[in-house]
């Protein structure tokens, strides 16, 4: 009885909420950063700037050498030298990796570089060594008026008041990061599924970390920087296990009061349980079919909308499927990835081509189960050379080969492949592709986390497709089942034998 009483006391839930992980985070981030500098008082910034490069020159006149830090980052270079398994050291990044959304940057720089932290990146001849090309305002504008121009190679829109923005700069805010990261792929929440405009001011049900009712955290609270190099890697582009942001940095490796839950953290990432669904507020794109692109009505491109306002069809891009409140798929991940590289031959085009592969298995000590969005597409393929095609999609004007104006796959393919130095056979088809996007945002409250029975169940559980390990409640093992049934039977026999023995002893005058 004493042992039972002590166990109940030990397991009784604590009423002291001040010590919960969420309460600690809320306390830690409740004091918001305030700038100690008033940039409106600097004479060098109070001028009518003729060009955005002049603003950069003014910035580095005080913040000297900061531009050299920026020019060493992946945000600037759109690439990093990384080790890719089975391929060695490679320069890898947005500048040369294909995806299954708009496919790639090459030959489309003038449009894609709207999200580059530089000015004038319109083609492969961009001068990455000119400090005046660094765009300080993209990340440090606090006026909420700065916007890049569409198809302007990273230059700001002409409506931007450069003097106003230059005098209202500071620590990066959600809007600075979200402008690109929430709208990648051509619109709100198109790519990631867990990063969208709802995170500007989310409810607690959308994200418990970023809601003002919770920790009210900004992007840079987790994605901090040293010498302008941000923590955090998107594995659609990166292969290396470095500069990562981990939940354990704040929550520790044993975040629960329950030891059984803590045991799970050895092989299960925090996100797997605490992000039961993604695309909570707005839908995300789940399938893109380029093979239907190019249809015209009366010789002109057209679009078809779904009832919720998302695109069902665009002449320039093809057909789409979307989803909302989606349950993630799951995979093992050890922190490293490999990628399809331009020119990689495909041995069996009948199977979906893996644009990126997250590596890991149960047997690897560093591997954990993580939630992912798997983007599936039908995209351009050279049927003779057996590799994916980098098309030229953006058009500055009709006749330049860009598909979005000329609607000609032959010229778009030829121009795009020329830009990356690969041969185009002239015979284009379409193949299925898959791309993995780890889910890290839209963290739910603890009481909305994945329930045990959603995984530990015989049929249709969340982890039904993960193999190579035994999961109680999901998997059947003949020896374990026989041993369990035998123990139950032996226990029953023991109880009955003990009871019968006591009855016989009682009748004989025993106790």
Count the neighbouring beta carbons within 10 Å of the beta carbon of residue 150.
Answer: 9
Q: Is residue 84 part of a domain?
A: yes
Are 299 and 424 members of one domain? yes
Answer yes or no: is 3 within a domain: no
Per-residue confidence of the chain (511 residues) as pLDDT tens digits?
554 444 444 444 444 445 566 677 677 776 667 778 999 999 999 999 999 999 999 999 999 999 999 999 999 999 988 888 788 888 888 888 999 999 999 999 999 999 999 999 999 999 999 999 999 999 999 999 999 999 999 999 999 999 999 999 999 999 999 999 999 999 999 999 999 999 999 999 999 999 999 889 999 999 999 999 999 988 878 888 888 899 998 998 999 999 999 999 999 999 999 999 999 999 999 999 999 999 999 999 999 999 999 999 999 999 999 999 999 999 999 999 999 999 999 999 999 999 999 999 999 999 999 999 999 999 999 999 999 999 999 999 999 999 999 999 999 999 999 999 999 999 999 999 999 999 999 999 999 999 999 999 999 999 999 998 999 999 987 787 788 889 999 999 999 999 888 888 877 765 5
* Inside any domain, residue 137: no
356 and 504 part of one domain: no
Examine residue 379 and state whether it is found in any structural domain, yes or no.
yes
Contact predicate 445/208, CB 8 Å = yes
The pTM of this model reads 0.88
Q: Within this chain, do residues 300 and 233 fall inside the same structural domain, yes or no?
A: yes
- Whether residues 176 and 267 share a domain: the answer is yes
- Total H helices, total E strands in the chain: 16, 17
Predicted pLDDT at 2: 53
pLDDT for the residue numbered 22: 62
Domain count along the chain: 2
The C-alpha atoms of residue 200 and residue 221 are separated, in whole angstroms, by: 14
Buried-exposed string 477-508: b where 16+ CB fall within 10 A, e elsewhere: eeeeeeeeeeeeeeeeeeeeeeeeeeeeeeee
In a domain, 155, yes or no: no
CB contact set of 280 (below 8 Å; sequence gap of 6+): 198, 205, 206, 324, 325, 442
Indicate if 251 and 400 belong to the same structural domain.
yes
Note whether 358 and 397 are same-domain residues.
yes
- If asked whether residues 281 and 343 sit together in one domain, one would say yes
Which H, E and C letters describe 65-118, residue by residue? CHHHHHCCCHHHHCCEEEEECCCEEEEECCCCECCCCCCCCCCCHHHHHHHCCE
Q: Are residues 507 and 386 in the same domain?
A: no
**Assigned domain for 131 exists:** no
Predicted local distance difference test score (pLDDT) of residue 483: 85
Same domain as 483, residue 380 = no
Q: Are residues 295 and 340 in the same domain?
A: yes
First-to-final CA distance of the chain: 22
Q: What is the predicted pLDDT for the residue at 215?
A: 87
Examine residue 148 and state whether it is found in any structural domain, yes or no: no
For 55, the token pair is 């603003």
Asked whether residue 181 is domain-assigned, the answer is yes
CB 86 within 8 A of CB 338: yes
Residue-range definition of the domain harbouring residue 444? 79-115+171-454
**Are 401 and 271 within one domain?**
yes
Looking at the structure, tell me whether residues 83 and 225 fall in a common domain: yes
The last residue of a domain, from among 454, 470, 490: 454
Is the Cα torsion angle 241, 360, 83, 181 positive or negative in sign? negative
- Kindly tell me the sign of the dihedral angle through the C-alpha atoms of 335, 341, 347, 349: positive
């Amino acid at each position: 009885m004493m042992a039972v009483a002590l166990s109940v006391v030990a397991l009784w839930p604590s009423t002291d909420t001040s010590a919960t992980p969420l309460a600690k985070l809320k306390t830690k981030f409740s004091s918001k950063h305030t700038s100690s500098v008033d940039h409106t008082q600097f004479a060098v910034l109070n001028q009518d700037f003729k060009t955005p490069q002049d603003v950069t020159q003014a910035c580095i006149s005080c913040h000297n050498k900061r531009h050299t830090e920026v020019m060493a980052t992946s945000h600037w270079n759109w690439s990093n030298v990384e080790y890719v398994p089975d391929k060695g050291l490679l320069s890898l990044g947005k500048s040369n990796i294909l995806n299954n959304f708009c496919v790639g940057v090459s030959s489309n720089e003038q449009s894609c570089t709207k999200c580059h932290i530089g000015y004038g990146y319109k083609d492969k001849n961009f001068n990455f060594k000119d400090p005046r090309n660094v765009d300080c305002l993209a990340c440090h504008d606090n006026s909420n008026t700065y916007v890049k121009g569409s198809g302007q190679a990273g230059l700001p829109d002409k409506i931007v008041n450069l003097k106003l923005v230059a005098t209202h700069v500071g620590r990066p805010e959600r809007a600075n990061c979200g402008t690109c990261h929430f709208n990648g792929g051509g619109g709100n929440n198109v790519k990631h599924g867990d990063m969208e405009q709802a995170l500007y001011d989310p409810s607690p049900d959308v994200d418990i970390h970023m809601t003002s009712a919770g920790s009210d955290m900004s992007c840079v609270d987790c994605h901090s920087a040293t010498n302008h190099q941000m923590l955090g890697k998107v594995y659609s582009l990166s292969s290396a296990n470095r500069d990562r942001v981990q939940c354990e940095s704040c929550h520790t490796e044993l975040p629960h009061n329950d030891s059984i839950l803590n045991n799970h953290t050895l092989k299960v990432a925090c996100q797997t349980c605490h992000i039961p669904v993604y695309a909570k507020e707005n839908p995300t794109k789940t399938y893109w079919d380029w093979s239907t692109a190019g249809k015209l009505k009366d010789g002109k491109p057209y679009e078809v909308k779904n009832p919720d306002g998302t695109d069902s069809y665009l002449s320039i891009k093809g057909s789409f499927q979307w989803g909302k409140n989606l349950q993630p798929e799951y995979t093992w991940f050890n922190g490293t990835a490999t990628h399809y590289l331009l020119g990689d031959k495909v041995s069996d085009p009948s199977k979906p081509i893996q644009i990126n592969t997250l590596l890991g298995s149960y047997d690897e000590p560093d591997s954990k189960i993580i939630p992912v969005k798997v983007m599936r597409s039908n995209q351009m393929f050279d049927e003779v050379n057996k590799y994916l095609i980098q098309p030229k999609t953006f058009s500055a004007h009709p006749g330049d080969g860009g598909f979005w104006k000329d609607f000609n796959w032959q010229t778009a393919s030829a121009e795009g492949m020329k830009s990356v130095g690969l041969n185009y056979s002239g015979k284009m088809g379409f193949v299925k592709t898959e791309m993995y996007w780890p889910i890290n945002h839209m963290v739910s409250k603890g009481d909305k986390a994945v329930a045990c029975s959603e995984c530990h169940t015989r049929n249709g559980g969340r982890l039904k497709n993960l193999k190579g390990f035994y999961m109680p409640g999901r998997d059947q093992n003949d020896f374990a089942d026989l041993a369990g049934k035998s123990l139950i039977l032996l226990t029953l026999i023991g109880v009955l034998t003990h009871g019968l023995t006591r009855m016989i002893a009682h009748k004989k005058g025993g106790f």
